[in-house]
Amino acid sequence: MPREQNIRLGLIGCGGIVQKSHLQGLLDIPNLVTISAIADPIPENRNRVGTAADIISEQRYEDHRHMLVRAELDAVIIATPHHLHAEHVIEAAQAGVAIISEKPMATSLEEADQLLDAVKKHSVPYAIVHNFLYTPGTAEALRLLRRENTGIPQTGRALSLFGKTEDQADPNNVWRASRAAGGGCIGDSAYHEIYLIETMIGSPVRYVEARVQTKFFDFDVDDVAFLLFEHENGAISTVSTSWGMPGGDQSTCEVYTRTHGIRIVGRGRELRYLDKADRRWQPVDLDHGLDNDALSRAGHANYFAATFKALAEGNSPPITAEHARHNLSLIHAAHQATTQRRAIDVTEL
């Protein structure tokens, strides 16, 4: 969808992720995109985002379907609860606009395939938000891994361990704590570590073994997941996630070659480098020049800049439907491995 002017964007969903992370990144690239309309059923969300983005009252919609019909749009960002993603993507595809969806693309592979059929039928660009690939730490880690003397990653591990309170895990107030809304720690928290460790290893996951269970809270979703991956090139990695481990949130992704180690801390806020001959982790100066607030938004900001630039030039977005479905298939395989207590071949899904 090449355009001489910048892309006219509509927001479907104006909740916490938009207010905390999406919005400022979008406002920072006015040469690429202009937020033209927003939609959210909650008045407070519409008011906060509408005011911040200077949206006229007529373009603040309670129902996204009205926005898709009435507003002049080139693209939409979908940032609604997980169980609504497939429905909203299909409706946006029918409206003929380019689509950027928050993760995951859907709550099941069946939904994902229905969504992809609609995207193909209506010939619209579709992208998924894998923002942790665009943080300063990840960008530098991938650069270091491409150096000839670093070697090929043989093993890796990723952690996303959080200590949610009972209030934060109350399905009556928090949709992520409800199966009906597509909640659960593996699809919400570990989703990022899954694509991050796979990218760091540099080879697709072929086999998945896992235990995905509920151990800490009284709800109907998983709050702990341990995954073991075998990659196509023979490398092995693990992902561990939980909502029931208090004592300080932990988020780490690290890989090891025969000669070096690379560790991303805080989902891209910090980076450390290990030369096994020296046997000491050394901090890497990211030279990002960002304060803490800007650094926490950097992944989204950089992702949006890359994605809208690609759309404006008529190119495929950097994170495609194939990336999105593959990541969802790894989550599906982890659930299947838990039930069947065996390794799952992802290529069969």
Q: Per-residue pLDDT for 4 more than 60?
A: no
Q: What is the pLDDT of residues 247-258, one digit of tens each?
A: 767 899 999 999
Q: What is the pLDDT of residues 202-244, one digit of tens each?
A: 999 999 999 999 999 999 999 999 999 999 999 999 999 999 9
Sheet containing strand 280-283, strands side by side: 280-283, 270-275, 260-265, 250-256, 155-161, 236-242, 224-231, 205-213, 344-345
Domains of the chain plus CATH, in order, are: 7-128+300-318 (3.40.50.720), 133-287+328-348 (3.30.360.10)
Cβ-Cβ contacts under 8 Å for 311 (sequence gap 6 or more): 1, 7, 74, 75, 98, 125, 317
Q: For the residues 273-288, what does the mean pLDDT come to? A: 88
Q: What is the pLDDT of residues 149-198, one digit of tens each?
A: 899 999 999 999 999 999 999 999 999 999 999 999 999 999 999 999 99
**Other C-beta atoms lying within 10 Å of the C-beta of residue 217:** 20
- Residue 298: its pLDDT value, please? 87
Mean pLDDT of the chain, nearest integer: 94
Q: Per-residue pLDDT for 269 more than 90?
A: no
Cβ atoms 308, 28 nearer than 8 A:
no
CA angle at residue 118 from 115 to 122, to 5 degrees? 145
Cβ atoms 198, 204 nearer than 8 A:
yes
CA distance 13 to 24: 15
- Residue 87: its pLDDT value, please? 97
Please report the beta strands in 189-341, taking only residues with DSSP state E, as ranges in sequence order: 205-213, 224-231, 236-242, 250-256, 260-265, 270-275, 280-283
Please state, for a pLDDT cut of 90, what percent of the chain lies above it. 89
Task: Indicate the length of the chain as a whole number.
Answer: 349
Supply the DSSP string of 170-219, one letter for each residue. -TTT-GGG-GGGT--HHHHTHHHHHHHHHHHHTS-EEEEEEEEE--SSSS
SS3 2: coil
**Other C-beta atoms lying within 10 Å of the C-beta of residue 205:** 24
- Residue 127: its pLDDT value, please? 97
Cβ atoms 261, 276 nearer than 8 A:
yes
Q: Which helix (H) or strand (E) holds 299?
A: helix 292-312
Question: Helix %, strand %, coil % for the chain, to 5?
Answer: 40, 25, 35
- Residue 266: its pLDDT value, please? 86
User: Any idea what DSSP says for residue 27?
Assistant: H
- Residue 5: its pLDDT value, please? 63
pTM for the structure as a whole: 0.94
Q: How many CA atoms lie within 13 A of 255 on its CB side?
A: 24
Q: Per-residue pLDDT for 295 more than 90?
A: no
Cβ atoms 35, 11 nearer than 8 A:
yes
C-alpha distances (whole Å) from 265 to each of 129, 136, 142, 158, 197 are 20, 11, 14, 10, 13
Q: What is the pLDDT of residues 66-98, one digit of tens each?
A: 999 999 999 999 999 999 999 999 999 999 999
